[in-house]
Amino acid sequence: MINNEDIYNVKNRSTSVVVYTIPDTNLRREFAPGETKRIPFGELEKLTYQAGGRELIANFLQILEPEVTHTLNVHTEPEYNMSEQQVADLILNGSLDAFLDALDFAPIGIIDLIKNLSVSLPITDINKRRALKEKTGFDVDKAIANDIASKEEDTIVEKEPAAKRRVVREEPTTQGRRTSGSGYKVINKTEETSSKK
């Protein structure tokens, strides 16, 4: 038997922030993506009485204890209870039929997770990529290309150091000269006149 004070694990399985309010008790809860909070059953029950509360539980929040969703009369498909690891296994190793069932019957939070993991793992099965695009409009190839491009933009490009000379000249040259002058023999005028005599 479930009591109102019993505490249960509730996880935001979507890729966005989930917020709900219960005006009767002045309560506002905010879940970051992937965050799990411990929530009393009484609060969950009050959430189901709020407009959209039952849909919030069915599509975005995952109550980790299956008996609670049954008691709250929240309809769930088998995909509702899938963990992140099970979704990754479905993407990498699952049959195409199981993947199609997930796309057809999984809650929105699981579909978000499938999209996210299809890029990060990435999904290699061409038929699954095609099915994901047909069912949701999500193009894995474009998403992977965008992900790579954004990572390249985020990488800090270091400037090359200023160019340094590899050969150092030993004698300074005067401005305007094209040669160093070291190949010339300097002759005195007195030597020149004495050699002519």
Task: Locate the domains of the chain by residue range.
Answer: 7-76, 80-145
Q: What is the pTM of this model?
A: 0.68
* Of the candidates 102, 76, 78, 74, the residue with the CA atom closest to the CA atom of residue 88: 102
Distances in whole angstroms, Cα of residue 81 to Cα of each of 13, 16, 69: 11, 19, 10
d(CA 68, CA 44): 9
d(CA 194, CA 120): 91
* Of the candidates 47, 60, 66, the residue with the CA atom closest to the CA atom of residue 2: 66
Tens-level pLDDT at each residue, the chain (197 residues): 788 889 999 999 888 899 999 999 999 999 999 999 999 999 999 999 999 999 999 999 999 998 999 999 999 999 999 999 999 999 999 999 999 999 999 999 999 999 999 999 889 999 999 999 999 999 998 988 888 888 776 655 555 667 777 777 665 555 655 655 566 565 666 555 555 55
Answer whether the bond into residue 161 is a cis peptide, omega within 30°: no
Q: Note the pLDDT tens digit of each residue in 84-116.
A: 999 999 999 999 999 999 999 999 999 999 999
Q: Residue 112 is encoded by which pair of tokens?
A: 């978000």
Distances in whole angstroms, Cα of residue 165 to Cα of each of 60, 162, 168, 180: 63, 10, 7, 17
Cβ burial 78-110 (10 Å sphere, 16+ → b, else e): ebbebeeeebbebbeebeeeebbbbbeebbebb
User: Are 113 and 136 in contact, with CB atoms under 8 Å apart?
Assistant: no
Bridge partners (DSSP) of residue 7 are 40
